[in-house]
Structures are given as C-alpha cells and as structure tokens.
C-alpha cells in the first residue's frame, strides 16, 4: 500500500521503518529536516523508567512500559543489522537518592511505588551506603543510600533517530523534508500548495497536530546536555527533592542529559535562566564534579499530552492518528506502535511476508 506519514519524530520514524519492513511504500513529510531537530524526540532524556513513572501515572503506563524493556533491544538489534549503526542501550537499572533533609520525599516515593506495583516488588531494592558504593561509587560519599530500580533502562536517542533515518532510506522510504503539513485526512496529506493522495495517511505530528486534535496540550520541558569528564555515572540517577526533581541520564563519553522541568505551558521559547539555575544547582548538589562540566545544549520542547496523559490511537478507513505520548514517548512507543500496527492489519493493511 501507499502510505503517507505526517511528522518524522519518534512515532513517525518507528511507523515508517516498520511499515517499510512489511513491504509498503512510505513517504514521510517533516516540517524540519531529517535530523529531527524540531521534534520532542531529540530533546528527550529517553529513559525507560516504568517504576519511576508509575508513581505519578496510571498503572497501565507501568505494564505497557515494561514491555519496552525487552522490545527495544530486539528492535535496536534489527536496526543495527540493516544500518550497521550501533545504538547504546543501558540496562543496569537506575538509582534514586535524596539529601538527608529530604529523606521523607524518598520514603514517600518508595511507599507510593510499592503500593502501585506490589507484584514486581522484587525489582525495588532499598540500598544502604555500601550497596550504593558498589553501584555508583562516586555517589556514596554524599548519600547514605537510596533506591535501586533494577529493571529501568535508557537508550541513546540521538543515535536511534539517525539509525531510523538510515534504515528508512535504505528500505526505500521517501523523505519530504521542510514540508509543513496543513492537514491530514483519510488518504490525504495537504501542504500549503499541494495535496498528496495515499491508501493510508498517518498523522504523527506530535504537538504539530493540535490544529486537528484540539484536546492535545503541550507540557513544556527543559533539559541541559553537559559534558562532565570528572563524573562517571553508570546509570540514570534521580534526585528526590521537594521543589526541583532532577534526573541525570548518561550518554557515551561522559556526557549527561539533565532534566527536566515540567511546566503546564505550550511556550517553545528557549530555556529560561530560572530553569537553568534550578537544574544546575540541583545537579551540582548531586556530584561536585559537575562544577567543571561544560554545557553542550540547552533544549526546550513540549510533551504532547491528551487530557488523561495517556496515548491516543485512532484508526478509521484511510486515516491513522497517533499522539499523546506525553513524557513517555520512548517508554510507550513500543506498545503504541504494536497496537497501531494491529489496528492497521485489521483494517486490511497487510504484510507482504505474512
């Protein structure tokens, strides 16, 4: 089938690569370039944190999110096979810490978490300083312990988006970069001056779909990317703090993604001084080695969210709409993708190699 996809961020790329593998002809329309510089996907810390996230989410986020932990390694291996490009996947768990004065925030977090995932209690470990020293030696001087969430993971989103672009091109997907889509309807993608017809049209424009999805809202998030040669962390770290919740997600070469603010605003203006100060002072309080870090990027974007903060998938003859991944794009896209593909199959978008 001929399939047009509006929006080549995370979902658009995943759908394109999966549909191409099934033998369909795919054209991607993206208002930016194929580097994905206008997407929320490039800004994200790309942590796969079903335990940490379920504390403030519905239980289904945990169940769908856990699937991502086995799904991504398989998908990344399949991508590497076709592109020869490796995408880092860190699966050594994550650590949650709090300063002594904020111990109650950590206790409350643990209580809520255990209450929500009683069936997976064995993957939540209360750790003392000795165990912390085994996991993250550089944090053991400052913290007397914390929580170890053994199943949590992260991936390298920059490498993933590049690898998906390569795979899509290799499988014959067509790119229409710098193409601002005006509307997406059944079998039709409309630009300012041209209409394109397909058997199916897919709307995966994230926040860009708001004109056609009025219930969609943006939740602003800001992150800093730093290079910290004096810091050696093995896994994502979360700091429980009554005001500034902070996470640090590692990347190769002593780089770290520091995030993230969460503001009910659709402003896409650059990172503010206030947010930078909050993130940086919380960061320095975790590890003094961050004092000498250099700031590589300061990014702001909006997380596309529906009123219930859960994903939305609508599939009717000739039109698939996928959106609302909120702060869980990498965590929930495996579930959303598989559900969307199943709906398409039911609607007659079959596989060439059944």
Residues making contact with ligand FAD (CB under 6 A): 6-12, 29-32, 36, 38-41, 43-47, 180-181, 204-206, 208, 221, 223, 259-260, 301, 303-304, 323, 325-331
The arrangement of strands across the sheet holding 319-323 comes to 174-176, 25-29, 2-6, 200-203, 319-323, 312-316
Q: How far is the CB of 51 from ligand FAD (least distance, A)?
A: 13
| Of residues 108 and 297, the one with the C-beta less far from ligand FAD | 297
SS3 139: helix
| Of residues 196 and 330, the one with the C-beta less far from ligand FAD | 330
Peptide bond into 260 cis (omega under 30): yes
Report residue 312 as tokens: 């939305």
Q: How far is the CB of 224 from ligand FAD (least distance, A)?
A: 10
| Of residues 12 and 146, the one with the C-beta less far from ligand FAD | 12
| Of residues 103 and 187, the one with the C-beta less far from ligand FAD | 187
What are the counts of helices (DSSP H) followed by strands (DSSP E) for the chain? Answer: 9, 20
Q: How far is the CB of 332 from ligand FAD (least distance, A)?
A: 7
Alpha helix ranges (H) inside the chain: 10-21, 40-43, 50-54, 59-83, 103-116, 129-135, 157-170, 273-286, 329-346
Q: How far is the CB of 292 from ligand FAD (least distance, A)?
A: 24
Q: How far is the CB of 61 from ligand FAD (least distance, A)?
A: 10
| Of residues 105 and 333, the one with the C-beta less far from ligand FAD | 333
Angle between helices 59-83 and 329-346 (to 10 degrees): 80
Distance CA 348, CA 354 (A): 13
Report residue 287 as tokens: 């590890």
| Of residues 145 and 286, the one with the C-beta less far from ligand FAD | 286
| Of residues 31 and 145, the one with the C-beta less far from ligand FAD | 31
Distance CA 282, CA 202 (A): 41
Q: Given the DSSP bridges, would you call strands 174-176 and 153-155 parallel, antiparallel or unpaired?
A: unpaired
| Of residues 117 and 224, the one with the C-beta less far from ligand FAD | 224
Other C-beta atoms within 10 Å of 140: how many?
Answer: 17
Q: How far is the CB of 133 from ligand FAD (least distance, A)?
A: 26
Q: How far is the CB of 139 from ligand FAD (least distance, A)?
A: 20
Report residue 329 as tokens: 């794009």
Q: How far is the CB of 287 from ligand FAD (least distance, A)?
A: 20
């Amino acid at each position: 089938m001929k399939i047009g996809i509006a929006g080549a961020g995370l979902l658009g790329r995943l759908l394109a690569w999966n549909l191409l593998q099934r033998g369909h002809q795919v054209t991607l329309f993206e208002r930016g370039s194929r580097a994905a510089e206008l997407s929320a996907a490039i800004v994200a810390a790309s942590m796969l944190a079903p335990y940490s996230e379920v504390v403030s989410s519905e239980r289904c986020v945990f169940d769908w999110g856990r699937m991502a932990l086995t799904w991504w390694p398989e998908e990344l291996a399949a991508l590497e096979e076709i592109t020869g490009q490796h995408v880092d996947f860190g699966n050594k768990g994550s650590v949650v810490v709090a300063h002594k004065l904020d111990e109650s925030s950590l206790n409350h977090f643990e209580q809520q978490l255990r209450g929500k995932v009683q069936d997976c209690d064995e993957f939540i470990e209360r750790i003392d300083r000795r165990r912390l020293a085994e996991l993250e030696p550089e944090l053991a001087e400052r913290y007397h312990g914390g929580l170890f969430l053994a199943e949590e993971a992260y991936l390298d989103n920059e490498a993933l988006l590049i690898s998906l672009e390569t795979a899509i091109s290799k499988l014959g997907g067509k790119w229409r970069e710098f193409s601002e889509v005006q509307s997406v309807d059944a079998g039709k993608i409309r630009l300012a001056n041209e209409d394109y017809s397909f058997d199916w049209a897919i709307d995966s424009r994230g926040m860009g779909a708001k004109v056609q999805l009025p219930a969609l809202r943006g939740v602003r998030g800001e992150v800093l990317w730093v290079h910290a040669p004096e810091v050696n962390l093995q896994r994502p770290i979360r700091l429980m703090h009554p005001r500034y919740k902070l996470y640090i997600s590692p990347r190769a070469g002593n780089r770290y993604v520091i995030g993230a603010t969460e503001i009910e605003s659709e402003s896409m203006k650059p990172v503010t001084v206030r947010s930078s100060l909050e993130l940086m002072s919380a960061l320095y309080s975790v590890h003094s080695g961050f004092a000498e870090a250099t700031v590589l990027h300061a990014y702001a974007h909006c997380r596309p969210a529906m009123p219930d903060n859960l994903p939305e998938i609508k599939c009717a003859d000739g039109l698939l709409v996928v959106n609302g991944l909120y702060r869980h794009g990498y965590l929930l896209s495996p579930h959303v993708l598989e559900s969307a593909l199943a709906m398409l199959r039911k609607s007659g978008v079959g596989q060439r190699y059944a």
